[in-house]
Structure 1
Amino acid sequence: MILFVGELLADLITWQDFHVAEDFVMKTGGSPGNIARFASQLGVPTKIVSRVGDDLIGSRILKKLEQAGVDISSVQIDKDHGTTLVFVQKTPDSPDFFVIRGADRYLKLEEHEIENILDGVSIVHLSCWMLTHEELYDTTMRIVRKALEKGIQISFDPNCRNKLFSCKKINLSRVFELLKCTTYSKPSIDDAVALFGMPHNLISNCEKRSKGLFFSNEIDIELVKYYVRKFHEHGVKYVVLTAGKDGAFAFDGEILVHIPASARKVVDATGAGDGFWAGIYYGLINGYDFLQACNIGSMVAGYIVGFVGAEVDITKLKTEFENLKR
């Protein structure tokens, strides 16, 4: 079983600039919840630990997770704080977001609760949101220490951004402490830049834009090697670096493999990274090695980008993957 620990929230999405936007589409979100739901739809046993408000949005999130087969018995209900909201601006030239932090910020677990949630778990998946406040970080590291005692592997999604942290700046010491304990990590290029910056000897050959980082044909593989090496040096055993339309680069400790993007048509990239994670977990749970699991992750991500938002049903992929094993 995979245990997911992190934020559950609602995404309020607009395709206009915030200062003129009048219409928003609400989607259930929070990367740990999305991954758990996708993985469950693929047949992977999953459960989630999080905290939502005692409100209609929290109820909607939990209902969708439960319908997908995710164990939500360890999700806490907060009567004092509403469910966390993220407003997302999806304009082509200036994508942005801001967070109204709510219940997820107040997740706390006693030692006996940590013992209980780890029962039957093979991998614990953690979000960077769990490092943003001192109390959350303390809870995270107590989970990690107990998991490692039990021989449970740690996965870490380093989706860190300055505005998520209480001091408005990524707490690198917390991130690096968790990386020391991490078996699997799937940073995007933007994640890697946020943590490690741009290497000075390569920066002149790259074009940086507000949307992210775009490689020149000559230097992309050197940047990939640089960031993969950084994660590996900080303790991560298996790394897959995702690069949007350029695909992904998976490293198993010895071999670096390029995995081309599998999408035929891109409608919306929301949820693609979460789907990639779910595909990796499907592969690992079903006995594939890490590089093979990353190929499955790429296939899931390629399917999801054909739809708007992360509320995609990927159940049909389970049958396709089962046929691959025959």
Structure 2
Amino acid sequence: MTLISPACRDALSSWLDGQKALAGAARNTITAYQGDVVEFLSFMTLHHGEPQGLGALERITVADMRAWMAQARAGGVGARSLARKLSAVKSFYRWLADREGFEPTAVLSTRAPKFQKKLPRPLAEDAARAMIDTVELQAASGWVAARDVAVVTLLYGCGLRISEALGLTGADAPLPATLRILGKGGKERVVPVIAPARDAVATYLRLCPHPQQNDAALFRGTRGGPLNPRAIQSVMARARLQLGLPATATPHAMRHSFATHLLSAGGDLRAIQELLGHASLSTTQAYTAVDTARLMEVYDRAHPRA
């Protein structure tokens, strides 16, 4: 942060502390916010030829904002990433303007670049089931195979993120009918655990050679430590090659599949939002676009005039 004035450094630190304490932002989010705002403030220092104190930040113009965005795009920053950076800068400015009592219109009125939102890439129902079956065939030992099946079944059967599944501890076993999951930003949700997921975890626990402890990870690596998510990513990569599935068939795709298949079966969008732990319904609504796209594919194939 050498290009940033001490006053700006202190202001940024206070804002980030507020994001952690009041907004409940996750560690990775805080790190991204810090990087984005530091990058912006550093650009303004170089752009104006001197460190930008709080007074100088109040005088940022629309032309300054355009120069920053043009420099970012010229440096290879994509529209989606630039929109995220601008969002962080606006959030910081909104807080700073309220604290310092200035008008942040030039920053807040800056429009984010348009970009095509990526739709979730779920697997078809038969492919999701095949993935679980094929994952079991990848491991050399029975308990590792049972472990991998248990994790992937939780991702698909309960819509968990890989970090949430691997965050379970021995205190969660045997799995109950519902789990309390602490998700992104410290948001807690209650997730029903279907019988196949409970059975898969019970099989893994019966075969696992490492003793279970309440305060230790439920899913263990081969040496007994917490299971690394890369192990699940790797076993799914081998399985998808075997099945001829695309590179998008990742652990997170199992969570996408959970949501999409629930929606296809008539699930309520609000209920799915709660099950996934999405803060905003707009995030969950992306699955309606996926479902509509699939419906149109079926329509195009099956319509008598097609």
TM-score, normalised to structure 1's length?
A: 0.23
Q: Higher strand proportion, which one?
A: 1
Computing the radius of gyration over CA atoms, which structure comes out larger, 1 or 2?
Answer: 2
Q: Higher helix proportion, which one?
A: 2
TM-score, normalised to structure 2's length?
A: 0.25
